[in-house]
């Protein structure tokens, strides 16, 4: 694979096997072709040999998660730990509750204003 330095970085069989095992929901050959096309299209962003493994892992994780969103039968890899997701869910629940309460207060104020107008006080 093309990189910032010469000679090009070589994908080893062992690393390919690890990627295949870690990201089973990905068409690896298609993704390698996309990586090569990306590298050709973005020469200013080429990776060093030292950074290629991490780059490929991020690429394949994104591909796996994209595939999982399109097809629920393929497993997704979450970058958010379960405990953190639980915190986010709780924050969202609290935010929704605050929004419902605010909407109820606004509705009550409008009803009170309408009642005052009907009574001739506003």
Q: Is residue 92 part of a domain?
A: yes
Domain housing 31: 13-70
- This prediction's pTM: 0.54
Mean pLDDT of 69-90: 67
Residue 101 lies in a domain: yes
37 domain residue, yes or no: yes
Same domain, 94 and 62: no
> pLDDT at position 102, please?
94
The pLDDT assigned to 67 comes to: 80
Question: Does pLDDT of 107 surpass 60?
Answer: yes
> Does residue 110 sit within a domain?
yes
Number of residues in the chain: 122
- Could you tell me if 18 and 61 lie in one domain? yes
Structurally, how many domains does the chain consist of?
2
Place of tokens 């994908």: 11
Cα angle at 121 between 119 and 122, to 5 degrees?
110
Nearest to residue 32, comparing CAs of 7, 9, 5, 4? 9
| 28-41 and 13-22 helices, crossing angle to 10° | 110
Q: Does any domain span residue 7?
A: no
Q: Note whether residue 60 is domain-resident.
A: yes
């Amino acid at each position: 694979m093309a990189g910032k330095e010469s000679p090009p970085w070589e994908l080893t069989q062992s690393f390919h096997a690890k990627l295949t095992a870690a990201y089973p929901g990905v068409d690896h050959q298609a993704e390698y072709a996309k990586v090569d096309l990306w590298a050709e299209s973005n020469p200013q962003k080429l990776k060093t040999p030292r950074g290629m493994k991490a780059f490929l892992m991020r690429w394949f994780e994104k591909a796996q998660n994209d595939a999982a969103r399109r097809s629920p039968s393929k497993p997704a890899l979450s970058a958010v730990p379960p405990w953190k997701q639980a915190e986010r869910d709780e924050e969202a629940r609290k935010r929704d509750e605050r929004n419902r309460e605010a909407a109820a207060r606004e509705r009550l104020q409008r009803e009170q204003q309408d009642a005052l107008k009907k009574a001739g006080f506003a």
